[in-house]
Structure 1
Amino acid sequence: MSVPGEALPHPTVAPRPRVVGAPRLTEARGELLREITILDEYGDRRSIHIPAERSLTVFVDKRELVTLMTLGAMPEHLVLGYLLNQRLIKRVDEIESITVDWDVAAAAVRTRAGVADIEARTAKRVVTTGCGQGTVFGDQLEDLNGIHLPEAARARIRQSHLHRMLETMRQQDSIHRKAGSVHGCALFRLDAGQPELMMFVEDVGRHNAIDTIAGWMGLHGVDGVDKAFYTTGRLTSEMVMKAAHLGVPIVVSRNGVTAMGHEMATRLGMALFGRASNRHFLCYTGFERFDSEPEPQRPAVRVVSG
């Protein structure tokens, strides 16, 4: 239920053609917000919105793979990006179709030739630090030396362009602004005159949001070499790893970074920005990708003793 006359926020997506051999997708977008009545500290009853979290069980060729807790904004893209980021598929044309049915809370993935060794590749499951718990199958976290950015990923970012990204996100109509309790991720193109917002999506966890963007990038043949990610969530090793898998060399977070995320980004030559809000930020790694335009130093506060 929504408040009469109030427009509900939806993902921001730049229109692009799909790649040849792209899978068929349903468009089973769910209700993003739900209206409830609360009692506040003043004893007043009023209506507010909360995110409409739901479960989505993913079946690959009729084999149950995983259950994702999601907002349901772009579930088919989420499933596609999840399969790509888990390295279960290499290209989107390996998938024939993804059908999401909210009546049974399931996503049916049909591949063209099956997923090789799926039993062995999904036997080991690592629960990560994701909001709602992210998951990594296999030995991805043990094979970090096998992760590399593409040679073409030479993107740089100017401080003024970083400010423009942050201002774009500040002005974005969002579920978080209306209801809180969600994370958002955005993809920006940096080779334009100013950073261009290509996609923005929110979900109950930051891993879902970046997986959804990964699915959209794969579906439309968008590479990451001249792009930057923005996320509201912290930059853990898995978030850095997913950005690197997509070839995105610059990641900006409203939150901070973990030691493992910092180490991975340093080795890969990625630029990580954290605590980024308004005109404030911290550049943790990748100084060589950053064209600093320093703010004027604040005048020292003079303390006058009594």
Structure 2
Amino acid sequence: MCALRLSHARLPATLEIDVRDEFGETRRQAIAAERALTVYLNKREIVTLMTLGADPEALVVGYLRNQGLVPTRDDLAAVHVDWDVEAAAVVSRRAPDDLEARLGQRTVTTGCGQGTVFGRLLDTVGLAPLPRTVLAQSTLYALLENLGAYNETYKSAGAVHGCALCHQGEVLDFVEDVGRHNAVDTLAGRLWLNEDDVATSADIFYTTGRLTSEMVLKVAQMGIGILVSRSGVTQKGVELAERFGVMLIARAKGRHFQAIHATERLVYDARPTPRAGDRKTSSM
């Protein structure tokens, strides 16, 4: 099998512009980059992604993987990103027989920049049973504290979401992009391209975005059974998590969280001292 030909077209995630603050003073401010990247698979236009451009090859590979448009890593022959024409050309040795039919069926998903799922993926995806990983409450708290060292683009410019591959309380890899779906696709692409131990050791996925059907599906495809977010959940996200065996930890901030599908999987070994108002029900 010939080696994969891969470009390296990373761009800075932020740029600086002049802004005027509340005192009328002019200052330089970092803002998140937002670039259009049109993906072509074997010369067939697939989709245009809005992205920071920080790791475009991994984003494109992860997107095609999660959509089921490239069956295996060995099918990839080349991925070439050219920012002069804002395009990514992907050559695959094999594509789905029903590619045209899939591209004719699109579901625009929720989220920043809007994601797209092709070809009724929810009806066709085949997944092996996910490991019913057990999570200790103390480990969750340690992970949330460790994640505070990341979010570099968000801290300087805002306007982005972050996702992370984690092993218990350790952050293995972290990606930011203008949409949470881009961030998870980039991590999926890195796993496929690198084929390292991260793929087998990651057992928790963290996102700053909502736990929607799209997020649950993509994490399940990566074989990870615990999905953590500082945001809330959607009805379809809860339904799919039950179907795939994913434990959801929503609204995870500080010492607070809401666990879903967590029976016999969440160990309460660090219960915080209740305070007035802690037990109030909050909307998701």
If the length of structure 1 is used for normalisation, what is the TM-score? 0.84
- Any gaps of 5 or more consecutive residues in structure 1? 1-19, 302-306
Distance 1:216 1:299, change over 3 A: closer
**Which position in structure 2 is the counterpart of 1:189?**
167
Q: For residue 98 of structure 1, what is the aligned residue in structure 2?
A: 79
What pairs up with 1:112-131 in 2 under 5 angstroms? 112-131=93-112
Name structure 2 gaps, 5 residues minimum: 278-284
Q: Counterparts in 2 of 1:226-305, with a 5 A limit?
A: 227-298=203-274
On the 8 A contact 2:151/2:176 being kept in 1, the answer is: no
- Alpha-carbon distance in structure 1 between the residues aligned to 2:275 and 2:192: 49
State the 1:88 CA deviation.
1.0
The code of the aligned residue for 2:173 comes to M
Alpha-carbon separation, structure 2, partners of 1:225 and 1:137: 29
Q: CA deviation at 1:133?
A: 0.6
How far off is 1:87 after superposition?
0.9
Match of 1:164 among 136, 142, 157: 142
Aligned mates of 1:268, 1:104 — CA distance in 2: 39
Q: Give the match's secondary structure for 2:264.
A: helix
Q: Distance in 1 between matches of 2:176 and 2:253?
A: 18
Q: Distance in 2 between matches of 1:138 and 1:114?
A: 14
Structure showing greater radius of gyration is: 1
Q: Is the 8 A contact 1:224 1:246 kept in 2?
A: no
CA distance in 2, matches of 1:299, 1:112: 59
Equivalent of 2:118 in 133, 137, 141: 137
State the Cα RMSD in Å: 2.0
For the residue of structure 1 that corresponds to 2:140, the secondary structure is helix
Q: Cα offset for 1:41? A: 2.1
Q: Distance in 1 between matches of 2:11 and 2:47?
A: 19
Higher mean alpha-carbon deviation, 261-270 vs 78-87, is at 261-270
Per-residue displacement from partner, 1:72-121 (whole Å, max 9, x unpaired)? 11100000000110011221111101000111111010112344332122
Q: Given the superposition, is the C-alpha separation of residues 120 and 34 from structure 1 closer, same or farther in structure 2, using an over 3 Å criterion?
A: same
Contact 2:229 2:250 in 1 (8 A): yes
Q: Pick from 185, 189, 200: which aligns with 2:174? A: 200
- TM-score norm. by structure 2 comes to 0.90
Counterpart of 2:191, as a letter, is M
**In structure 2, do the counterparts of structure 1 residues 132 and 61 end up closer, same or farther at CA, with 3 Å as the change threshold?**
same
- Establish whether residue 89 from structure 1 lines up as the match of residue 75 from structure 2: no
- Asked if the contact 1:32/1:73 (under 8 Å) is kept, the reply is yes
1:225 and 1:290 mapped to 2: Cα distance? 19
Identity of aligned residues (%): 50
CA distance, structure 2, for counterparts of residue 213 and residue 134 of structure 1: 16
Aligned counterpart, 1:217: 191
